[in-house]
Structure 1
Amino acid sequence: MSNPDPRYPLLGYGLGLRVQHYEEILSGDPPIDWLEVLSENYMIAGGRPLDYLARFRERYPLVMHGVSLSIGSSDPLDRDYLARLKQLAAFVEPAWISDHLCWTGVDHTNLHDLMPLPYTEEALDHVAARVREVQDFLGRRILLENVSSYIAFNASQLSESQFVAEVARRADCLILLDINNIHVSSRNHGFDARAYLADMPADRVQQFHLAGHTQQGNLVIDTHDAPIIDPVWQLYADALHRFGPISTMIERDDHIPPLADLLAELDHARAIAGPILEAAA
């Protein structure tokens, strides 16, 4: 139930930083403990985005979250991307860096989507070796996030949760556990979301994501464009019982609401966590 990696801090309750809220956050003192920034938005030589980032860095702990590492791709690792990521990390000094356990491109083409992997021994060896290479290059452990999925591979030999856990063990990396993604995938594939939590190694889970999604008929889509629903809040409570205090943040990527709406969701996360963590202390 302790902080999984004592080298990394327990940050509390944060938000994904979005342009729509820059000025309101900087001009006030909203109850936000930390901010997650999208790495690719700031991997540039200069300009206003980096000026804003410097101002946020002065006031809040920051973490970097990427969408283009493509750790599961068969393409060679993108060394130019990694160099720019490392350069940004030197500027931001993030508490940690994360990306997704997926592939996002093939034949040097970025598909701009988070594509699932077959859960096989071959894929395990491939991904774990690439994660170790990335960590050696960056000089730090990274976090990998479980993604939402809508298809399954006949070749898979493991469950998704077993695959995520084993990648973390073999690569000696950490896990960004997206609670909403577990819910979405459990609905789409018919697995037990609480059993997924039970498969996660408690000493590897470093961060939680919370978000909303969209239902289209029988399909649940991870859209990050709506409020968090009750079953996801309940799964968050289950995760707190399982893992204890974990740095938690809320994502919203479309239909961005007023900051006050996100702060209310953040307060709700605190309200859920408080009694659970007090009882476990």
Structure 2
Amino acid sequence: MRSIEGVGIGLKHKHLQQFIDNKPDVAWLEVHTENFFSQDSTAAKYLAKISQYYPISAHCVGMSLGSATTKCPIREQHLQRIKNTISWLQPSLLSDHLSWSGTENGHYLPDLLPIPFTEEALDVVAKNINHAQDVLQRQILIENPSSYLTYIDSPIAEWQFLSSLIQETGCGILLDVNNIYVSAHNQGFDALEYLANIPVDAVKEIHLAGYSIDNIEGQEVYIDSHGHKIYDGVWRLYEQVIKRFGVLPTLIEWDTNVPELSVLLAEKKKAEAIILKVVNAEKVMNDQAFL
């Protein structure tokens, strides 16, 4: 299992052949685990070849860690399929979302739905994370959600909820900068306050993505669409993230209207330029401190 450093991109089916043929200059790749459950599929065979050259982060969408179900058969089967996949893929990092998709009667919804930030929900999510980590024998990174509305009964701040999960489960954090930016706009909280309350050592991976803008009843709502170039405000927030958390594995995420690979590589270079800017500025400050 190789360590992950630098800026990576999400590996998409339309780019598989390019990675086989050309081996583009990318530090690492992230895949959606569920897309490769069948090890005999053509896509999985491509990925097995590609993973010989690139470290892999496995990003899941179906653990439904916020579901208030106990030993749901469908979820148990899903965990086993994830376990089987990571056994041959050997990803360096493994992650899923702070959300729910499954219901008590075994139905699964095709979306990542928000949870209320309550003590009861905290207990449910913590138990689910602990169980998943026990089954998978791996630390799971939990991605902060994007949100558009809040529950009336949600007394705990999102960052406090995440911090409590870290303490109770030993999970890590996949810090999605775009999600923070989107939620801060939609809900009116301070994104920098959010960052200041996330434990530094818990963040293991960063996501960057583009959002879309909808007008709903005269209000601009930012939608976490992953189908657009990264906006300037997200880049500025990413700079603050690097200043607080240090240089961490960073992903350029683009899941809808996937462009040509060259577009993703250009976004990667922007992230690398911001990292270099922050590192050089800190070096100058450290040098001046010794004068």
Which TM class, normalised by the smaller chain length? Answer: over 0.9
Residue 236 of structure 2 aligns to a residue whose secondary structure is helix
Q: Distance in 1 between matches of 2:149 and 2:2?
A: 34
- Structure 1 segments, 4+ long, off by >4 Å, are none
Deviations 1:94-153 (A, max 9, x none): 002100011012132221111111111111111112111111111111101011111211
* Structure 2 residue identity aligned to 1:174: G
CA RMSD of aligned residues (A): 1.4
Instruction: Please name the residue that 1:121 is paired with.
Output: 119
Give 2:16's aligned amino acid: Y
Q: Say if 2:50 is the partner of 1:56.
A: yes
Give the counterpart of 1:98 among 79, 95, 98. Answer: 95
Is 1:20 equivalent to 2:14 in the alignment?
Answer: yes
Distance (whole Å) between structure 1 residues aligned to residue 2 and residue 129 of structure 2: 18
Q: Indicate which of 65, 81, 86 corresponds to 1:84.
A: 81
TM-aligned CA deviation for residue 277 of structure 1: 2.3
Task: Identify which of 29, 36, 40 aligns with 2:34.
Answer: 40
For residue 198 of structure 1, the aligned residue among 196, 199, 203 is 196
* Structure 1 residues 68-98: Cα deviation after superposition (integer angstroms, max 9, x where no partner): 1000001234111111111101110000210
**Cα 1:153–1:110 shift into 2, 3 Å:** same
Alpha-carbon distance change, 33 to 45 in structure 1, aligned in 2, over 3 angstroms: closer
Q: Is the 8 A contact 1:36 1:64 kept in 2?
A: yes
Q: Pairwise mapping of residues 1-281 of structure 1 onto structure 2 (< 5 A)?
A: 9-77=3-71, 78-106=75-103, 107-217=105-215, 218-280=220-282
Q: CA deviation at 1:45?
A: 4.6
**Amino acid aligned to 1:277:** V
CA offset digits 1:5-57 (Å, max 9, x no partner)? xx983421100000111111221132201000101101125120111111111
Report what 1:4 is aligned to. Answer: none
| Aligned mates of 1:201, 1:90 — CA distance in 2 | 30
TM-score (norm 2): 0.91
Cα shift readout 1:213-264 (whole Å, capped 9, x = no counterpart)? 1001211110001000000000000000010011001111111111111100
TM-score (norm 1): 0.94
For 1:12 and 1:45, locate their aligned partners in 2 and report how far apart those are by CA, in whole Å: 28
User: Any gaps of 5 or more consecutive residues in structure 2?
Assistant: 284-291
| Residues 224 and 253 in structure 1, CA contact (< 8 A), matched pair in contact too | yes
Larger radius of gyration, structure 1 or 2? 2
Paired with 2:151 and 2:225, the residues of 1 have a C-alpha distance of 23
Gap runs ≥5 in structure 1: 1-6
Q: Percent identity?
A: 40
Q: Which moved more, 1:233-242 or 1:29-38?
A: 29-38
